[in-house]
């Protein structure tokens, strides 16, 4: 059985996907996951037999979608690590990735990363994206707190295994493993995650641009980066995009003052293009559920579903409880 692999995506819905799928207002058809992130929902939708359109502004997420959502059958052989590459290209990449040196990783690690990217350039189609997804996962796994915006002095401290053990009773040796060893550990899981589903398509654009590209879908699923939460996805993963010259400008959903306005504009643009909109929210974040419901009600009938949800507080061991919400909007016919 295919299984969603370890992606380590901040704010992912991995633990909630069964509930989200159960609450989908149609049981078949085309679903656009417009803020797809680590693709946990896209993947569950594909498994449930929907035709999925997966979109995110980050290239770091696009490579996952290409590998696991659009890809129906291509796996990556272990021999990929023996593939020939040109040393001159590795040198070029090393110079290009200099911004990562003594900032996210040690210089010799940037060299290793350059070699792996040089190999990825020798691959085509889905195989290339499988490789790039594994590189992404390895990069994240090597970073304390699994994100790219931790200051270098703190990274170095947390990667000191003795310090980590003294302070947190955990050595976290995986931060000091090579990229390749992480990729080798995960290659089977990524290969096993590949399965044939209905036709799926993948995009890497701003949500507004995405809406312009579609004519008609059955459901648009929205899991935007809400204000007042861990939401700085550009900072969490954007350096990966920078490595591949894929950084893009986009509408910002993380500001309290403009969040509702932006979502409202997005929904207005979707009028006539979808029968349903399903919006995820959590009671920990703003705006208040009532405000969201009122805004959505202008466009049709809204039902709100609730589920108790325990979440981990980053960097700590305690768990807190909150309610996970799904707003299901049945769009009024135009
Ligand atoms: C809460 S996360 C989605 C998590 C996802 N549901 C999962 O399970 O992994 C929100 C996503 O919105 C993306 N995003 C932010 N602004 C965007 C924009 N203007 N257009 C498209 N995607 C955007 C971020 O890159 C991030 O991946």
Work out the average pLDDT over 269-291. Answer: 94
Per-residue pLDDT of 145-176, as tens digits, reads 999 999 999 999 999 999 999 998 989 999 99
Edge-to-edge strands of the sheet including 201-203?
201-203, 51-55, 30-33, 217-222, 274-282, 319-331, 300-312
**pTM confidence score:** 0.96
Please give the Cα distance from 131 to 120 (Å, whole number): 6
Q: Contact at 8 Å (CB) between 33 and 45?
A: yes
Is residue 238 lining ligand 1, measured as CB closer than 6 Å?
no
Long-range own/partner contacts, residues 99-102 (CB < 8 A, 24 or more apart)? 99/239, 99/242, 100/239, 100/243, 102/152
Tracing tokens 């959505």 back to the chain, one arrives at: 296
Q: Contact at 8 Å (CB) between 5 and 193?
A: yes
Please give the Cα distance from 77 to 194 (Å, whole number): 13
**Best residue among 47, 147, 224, 309 to mutate for probing ligand 1, ranked by most atoms within 8 Å of CB:** 224
Instruction: Please tell me the predicted confidence (pLDDT) of residue 128.
Output: 98
Instruction: Please tell me the predicted confidence (pLDDT) of residue 22.
Output: 98
How far apart are the CA of 323 and the centre of ligand 1, in A? 20
Res. 313: pLDDT tops 60: no
Q: In which band, very low, low, confident or very high, does the pLDDT at 120 lie, cut at 50, 70 and 90?
A: very high
The full DSSP string for 60-123 is: HHHHHHIIIII-SS----GGGGG----HHHHHHHHHHGGGGBTTTB-HHHHHHHHHHHHHHTT-
**Best residue among 17, 35, 137 to mutate for probing ligand 1, ranked by most atoms within 8 Å of CB:** 35
Per-residue pLDDT of 206-261, as tens digits, reads 999 999 999 999 999 999 999 977 899 999 999 999 999 999 999 999 999 999 99
Write down all domains in the chain, each with its CATH number in brackets.
Answer: 12-61+197-232+240-334 (3.40.50.150)
Please give the Cα distance from 284 to 251 (Å, whole number): 23
Instruction: Please tell me the predicted confidence (pLDDT) of residue 203.
Output: 98
Say which residue, 197 or 309, is predicted with more confidence.
197
| CA-wise closest residue to 183 among 267, 269, 303, 79 | 79
Q: Contact at 8 Å (CB) between 67 and 202?
A: no
Is residue 68 lining ligand 1, measured as CB closer than 6 Å?
no
Is residue 126 lining ligand 1, measured as CB closer than 6 Å?
no
How far apart are the CA of 324 and the centre of ligand 1, in A? 17
Please give the Cα distance from 57 to 37 (Å, whole number): 9
Closest residue (by CA) to atom 26 of ligand 1? 37
Per-residue pLDDT of 23-68, as tens digits, reads 999 999 999 999 999 999 999 999 999 999 999 999 999 999 999 9
Instruction: Please tell me the predicted confidence (pLDDT) of residue 311.
Output: 66
For helices 233-243 and 125-141, what crossing angle results, to 10°? 130
**Best residue among 31, 37, 59, 140 to mutate for probing ligand 1, ranked by most atoms within 8 Å of CB:** 37
């Amino acid at each position: 059985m295919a299984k969603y692999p370890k992606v380590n995506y901040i704010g992912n819905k991995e633990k909630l996907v069964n509930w989200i799928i159960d609450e989908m207002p149609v049981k078949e058809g085309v679903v656009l996951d417009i803020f797809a992130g680590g693709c946990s929902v896209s993947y569950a939708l594909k498994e449930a037999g929907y035709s999925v359109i997966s979109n995110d502004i980050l290239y770091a997420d696009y490579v996952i979608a290409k590998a696991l959502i659009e890809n129906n059958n291509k796996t990556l052989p272990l021999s990929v690590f023996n593939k020939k590459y040109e040393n001159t290209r590795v040198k070029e990449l090393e110079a290009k990735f200099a911004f990562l040196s003594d900032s996210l990783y040690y210089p010799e690690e940037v060299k290793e990363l350059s070699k792996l990217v040089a190999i990825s350039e020798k691959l085509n189609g889905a195989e290339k994206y499988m490789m790039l997804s594994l590189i992404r996962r390895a990069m994240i796994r090597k970073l304390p707190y699994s994100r790219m915006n931790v200051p270098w002095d703190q990274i170095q401290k947390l990667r000191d295994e003795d310090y980590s053990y003294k302070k947190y009773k955990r050595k976290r040796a995986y931060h000091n493993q090579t990229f390749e060893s992480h990729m080798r550990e995960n290659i089977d899981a990524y290969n096993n995650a590949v399965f044939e589903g209905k036709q799926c398509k993948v995009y890497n654009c701003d949500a507004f641009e995405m809406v312009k590209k579609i004519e008609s879908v059955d459901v648009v699923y929205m899991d935007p980066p809400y204000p007042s939460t861990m939401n700085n996805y550009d900072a969490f993963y954007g350096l990966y995009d920078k490595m591949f010259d894929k950084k893009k400008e986009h509408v910002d959903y993380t500001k309290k003052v403009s969040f509702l306005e932006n979502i409202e504009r997005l929904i207005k643009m979707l009028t006539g293009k979808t029968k349903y909109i399903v919006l995820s929210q959590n009671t920990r974040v703003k705006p208040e559920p009532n405000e969201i419901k009122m805004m959505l009600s202008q466009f049709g009938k809204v039902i709100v579903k609730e589920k108790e949800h325990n979440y981990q507080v980053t960097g700590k061991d305690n768990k807190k409880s909150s309610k996970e919400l799904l707003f299901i909007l049945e769009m009024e016919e135009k």
